[in-house]
Amino acid sequence: MMGLNKKDTSLFVVVIVLALLAPFFLNPFPTDSSMAQFNAGYPDLMQRFVIFGIFAVGFNILFGLTGYLSFGHAAFLGVGSYAAVWIFKLLTYNVLPAIMLSVIMAGIFALLIGYVSLRRSGIYFSILTLAFAQMSFALAYSVLSNPKFNLTNGETGLQVYANDPQWLHRDSLPDLPHLFGLSMRSTYEMTVGGWSFSFNTGYYLCAVILILTFYLSIRLFRSPFGMMLRAVKSNQQRMNYTGLNSRPYTLAAFVISGMYAGLAGGLLAAMDPLAGAERMQWTASGEVVLMTILGGAGTLIGPILGAGFIKYFENIFSKINDNILHQWFAFMPDGIEDFIVAVIHPFIGKGWHLTLGLMFMMVVIFLPGGLVEGGQRLARLLRRKKSDESPSADTKPAE
């Protein structure tokens, strides 16, 4: 189907189903139940699942295929956000021109940074990309916020104001990001029994883009271009000895990966028309590295799983506080209840990073291939168990 083999087609269908039916999958508990705390089917979080999934899929094209570890991809995320907000300020709130400019500007910026950074490899490449990202953060935070040419608005962040030109905006269109008049914040609520499901326009725009970008990543992975990138990762020196110049391939991968990051930045701005320098910080670059490794670097669906895993912990576990814990363990004697709450307290709320760090350590130690490897091991275990339980065929001795 669509030029994909059977295995890739199955994986592509899984991503389509997960993306389109996410409001059902992410709301497994009734709204009024005590477990509703773990529901993640509200628009803002679902949008972040998908947007950072796109970011991680793009990063995986560079890191997963070539082995080049970039610590500066947040720079392209920030460039994409700023470009989208400037479209909102100068032309229109329509998200399509904003997203297109985000991808183009991030691609140009990635070409410039990649041309310099890819002159080195290994840790030197990583340090160069980190240096460029921090310079970009410094420019956005201070230099480009100079009143003479205020491009970023410094620490306050770039946002849309009522007196902005918006030359192509009409009064009949909503005064917030939209797709040909359909507001990105438009949400339909469906109630079934004790469950409530939200179907948000902005989320489904992001979901469709995720599906398209995931399909593109599959084609890249299976193409001759992808094979050349794998050769770079396997043994770049031997590849150069054969007379093949790997520089154009790695630069192309870097630019494509940067364009994915710019697309994610543009979508962030499309969901909330604000761009700030904090999106360029080194922590944002480190986060996408964690997403890719946690899900499974070099795999197709791994980065999406890693992005969803981290964003879930960031938004759900960080909201759990002592009051919620006391409600959960109220059936226990007071002394035991207080002791359990005191033990769990450092791992929830503001301490969710500690929980994530411990889980990341467990994955790296026991599942070097990430969550995808865990799923593969579980599938092999179930198949082995099923084969053991099935009756063996009667055999006759050879004559």
Q: What is the DSSP string of 313-334?
A: HHHTGGG--HHHHHHHTTTS-H
Residue 356: CB partners within 8 Å, gap ≥ 6? 310, 313, 314
Q: Is the CA virtual torsion 132, 136, 142, 144 positive or negative? A: positive
SS3 assignment, position 272 = coil
Res 391: pLDDT: 63
Res 208: pLDDT: 96
Residue 208: CB partners within 8 Å, gap ≥ 6? 19
Cα angle vertex 341, ends 337, 346, to 5°?
A: 165
pTM of the full structure: 0.92
Res 64: pLDDT: 93
Per-residue pLDDT of the chain in tens (399 residues, 90 and over written 9): 677 888 889 999 999 999 999 999 999 888 888 788 888 888 999 999 999 999 999 999 999 999 999 999 999 999 999 999 999 999 999 999 999 999 999 999 999 999 999 999 889 999 999 999 999 999 988 878 777 777 888 888 888 888 888 898 888 788 889 998 899 999 999 888 888 899 999 999 999 999 999 999 999 999 999 999 999 998 888 888 888 888 999 999 999 999 999 999 999 999 999 888 888 888 889 899 999 999 999 899 999 999 999 998 888 888 888 888 888 888 888 888 888 988 888 888 878 888 888 888 888 888 888 888 888 888 888 888 877 776 654 555 544
Q: What is the largest CA-CA distance in the chain?
A: 96
Q: Rounded distance, CA 30 to CA 152, Å?
A: 43
Q: Rounded distance, CA 367 to CA 362, Å?
A: 7
Alpha helices in 67-159 (DSSP H): 74-90, 95-117, 122-141
Residue 138: CB partners within 8 Å, gap ≥ 6? none
Domain 6-24+41-301 listed as CATH 1.10.3470: yes
Q: What is the 8-class DSSP label of residue 159? A: E
Res 398: pLDDT: 46
C-alpha distances (whole Å) from 112 to each of 102, 108, 166, 258 are 16, 6, 30, 11
Res 1: pLDDT: 62
Residue from 387, 106, 36 nearest 267 by CA: 106
Contact 202, 185 (CB under 8 A): yes
Q: What is the 8-class DSSP label of residue 94? A: B
Structural domain boundaries in the chain: 6-24+41-301, 316-385
Res 399: pLDDT: 43
Q: What six digits make up the tokens of 309?
A: 């895993």
